[in-house]
Amino acid sequence: QVHLVQSGAEVKKPGASVKVSCKTSGYTFNDHYIQWVRQAPGQGLEWVGWVNPKSGGTHNAQKFQGRVTMTSDSSTTTAYMELNRLTSDDTAVYYCARDQGTYGLAFDMWGPGTMVIVSS
Amino acid sequence: DIQMTQSPSTLSASVGDRVTITCRASQNIDKWFAWYQQKPGKAPKLLISKASDLETGVPSRFSGSGSGTEFTLTISRLQPDDFATYYCQQYHNYPWTFGQGTKVDIK
């Protein structure tokens, strides 16, 4: 069975950084992109970006350019998303999700989400 | 960015009803399109990809159609487990974008 397990909730001050992990199991890690999506409280879904575990390549939404770093570790089948220079607007649940393939498709399995609260 | 507009934003329906949700894209996205279901406090769940491909394990009362700029999700006979929020998504052009959601609640 495919599982994605995320790290626990985080509370950060404005200007700080947060790193969220996504431990995967039950499938061949290198055969699927890992996507990151966030959801602010009471709001809709917002795509952050993806990491290709096979190559280490990434692509993120322009609004996060320069602030987000997505990585992966094939030895532990874990993906990571780090977001820097946090503001209150970054308060959200951050989800990792498995892409259906390796070239950007729909997201067929999701982690439970990691709540990130940014507050002074 | 491609804008995805869902209608309605809220839909009140009864068990057994036929329900249709529409999603319009601001430009042609061919069939690179998905529907997700989300329940409160839970992660989204993929229902349909490539506009009309039903995910394994998703009940056959769910169906998707459309291509280009207009898409629909139909639930043929609404069940108690179907009360949730539904999101559409395009993955044709970066940045991938979602609709604002359609909440299906009990009439």
> Looking at residues A51-76, what average pLDDT do you find?
96
* φ, ψ dihedrals at A88, nearest 5°: -60, -25
Residue whose C-alpha is closest to residue B23's, from B81, B85, B105, B99: B99
Which residues lie closer than 8 Å to B34 by C-beta, 6 or more apart? A106, A107, B46, B47, B48, B49, B50, B88, B89, B91
Q: B34: which chain A residues are within 8 Å (Cβ-Cβ)?
A: 106-107
Kindly indicate the confidence band of residue B6, based on its pLDDT and cuts at 50, 70 and 90: very high
**Does residue A103 carry a pLDDT above 80?**
no
Kindly indicate the confidence band of residue B9, based on its pLDDT and cuts at 50, 70 and 90: very high
pLDDT at A55: 95
* First-residue to last-residue Cα distance in chain A: 40
> Looking at residues A104-109, what average pLDDT do you find?
93
CA distance B39 to B62: 16
Q: A57: which chain B residues are within 8 Å (Cβ-Cβ)?
A: none
Residue in B46, B48, B89, B97 to test binding to A, most A beta-carbons within 10 Å: B46
Closest chain A residue to B46, measured at CA? A108
CA distance B44 to A98: 12
CB within 8 Å: B43 and A105: no
**Does residue A102 carry a pLDDT above 90?**
no
Residue in A38, A45, A64, A103 to test binding to B, most B beta-carbons within 10 Å: A45
- CA dihedral (B88, B92, B94, B95) in degrees, to 10, reads 0
**Does residue A101 carry a pLDDT above 90?**
no
Of B34, B42, B99, the CB nearest to A106: B34
Q: A62: which chain B residues are within 8 Å (Cβ-Cβ)?
A: 95
CB within 8 Å: A61 and B95: yes
> Looking at residues A19-33, what average pLDDT do you find?
97
Report pLDDT digits (tens) over B46-94: 999 999 999 999 999 999 999 999 999 999 999 999 999 999 999 999 9
